[in-house]
Amino acid sequence: MNGNDEEARRIYWREQMESGYKIFEALLASSVNEWGESMGSIADAADAAGVEMRFSATKIAGGLERVFFLRKGLLPDLIKIGRTMNERGWVLQIEDAFRSLEMQASLVRKPEVFDAVVQKCLWETGGQIPSVDFVIRRATVMVANIPKTGTHMSGSAVDISVIRRDGSEVSRGAPYLEVSEKTPMSSPFVSKEERRNRAEITELMEAHGMTHFPFEFWHYNQGDALDQILNERSEPAQYGAINWDPQTNRVTPVENAEVPLNPVKQFEAEVEAALTREKSI
């Protein structure tokens, strides 16, 4: 890789992250008219419909199991997506779906995730130690630290991969959870075939109501404030950040949804720990 290419990648990454931060600001100012809709199992819905799907077997963070549930009103569209993929020889793999506040807070602090954020900050600054504020600004786009801005906490988003029937993955240029200039959906740093795969998958998802997040090629959501903003709709979103009781299937809106899950002091400690791990490599 020559120096010019490296600088082009930095410029692109910086532009994408700043564009993402503007969306974050719009999310904080957005309106939500929470419907109180309960949750439903993606796996149960797929089984009932005879649709083949796969589900990630990895833990999310701190040993927490992934929760493959979504708002019930979104399940029919997701099942249609899965069926259409099956018809073309693909299998939809759900990497992640609903996250509780505890899960999201743990994910932000997960060393593999946080280290990737800090490493990208170091790369962007040319090796200069980034300020905590700068890391928070970038992490805001890459890993939602505020309930109101994270659609997984609304039960309205899925992270996906797509698998062929022979077990091979439909390549999109990088694996789930890539954190690099390849991560934005429109990245010019993946091959033409990989861009075409991204476009075909996104066209299929959006034909059934789900919207792609421009800064992560695996993330799709529907019915929340991000969906409204990206599609330039003015009406309040129907799904917002929730607390969910799996026993009663009751959802309640998160109070003070603008309050960060991990406060600044926690970020300071995490940045110091990440830099220490970086030095030890």
- 220-279 pLDDT, tens digit per residue, is 999 999 999 999 999 999 999 999 999 999 999 999 999 999 999 999 999 999 999 988
Q: Give the pLDDT mean for 190-214.
A: 98
- 27-79 pLDDT, tens digit per residue, is 999 999 999 999 999 999 999 999 999 999 998 877 889 999 999 999 999 99
- C-beta of residue 13 within 8 angstroms of C-beta of residue 138: no
Global confidence as pTM = 0.94
pLDDT of residue 2: 45
pLDDT of residue 219: 98
**Residue that is written with structure tokens 């390549």 in the block:** 171
Give the fold, CATH level 3, of 3-280. Answer: Muramoyl-pentapeptide Carboxypeptidase; domain 2 (3.30.1380)
- The answer to which of 2-6, 16-20, 145-149, 205-209 has the lowest mean pLDDT is 2-6
- The overall longest dimension of the chain from CA atoms, in Å, is 57
Question: CA nearest 211: which of 173, 157, 153?
Answer: 157
* Alpha carbon 107 to its chain's center: 11
CA distance 10 to 120: 9
pLDDT of residue 205: 98
Banded model confidence at residue 4, pLDDT cuts 50, 70, 90: low
- 174-187 pLDDT, tens digit per residue, is 999 888 999 999 99
Residue type, 32: V
Strand order in the sheet with 211-212: 53-55, 90-96, 157-164, 219-221, 211-212
pLDDT of residue 1: 43
- Please provide the average confidence, as pLDDT, over all residues in the chain: 95
pLDDT of residue 3: 46
Q: Give the pLDDT mean for 76-102.
A: 98
* Phi and psi at residue 180, to the nearest 5°: -165, -175
How much of the chain is helix, strand and coil, in % rounded to 5?
A: 45, 15, 40
pLDDT of residue 185: 97
End-to-end CA distance of the chain: 22
Question: CA nearest 153: which of 237, 76, 232?
Answer: 237
pLDDT of residue 78: 98
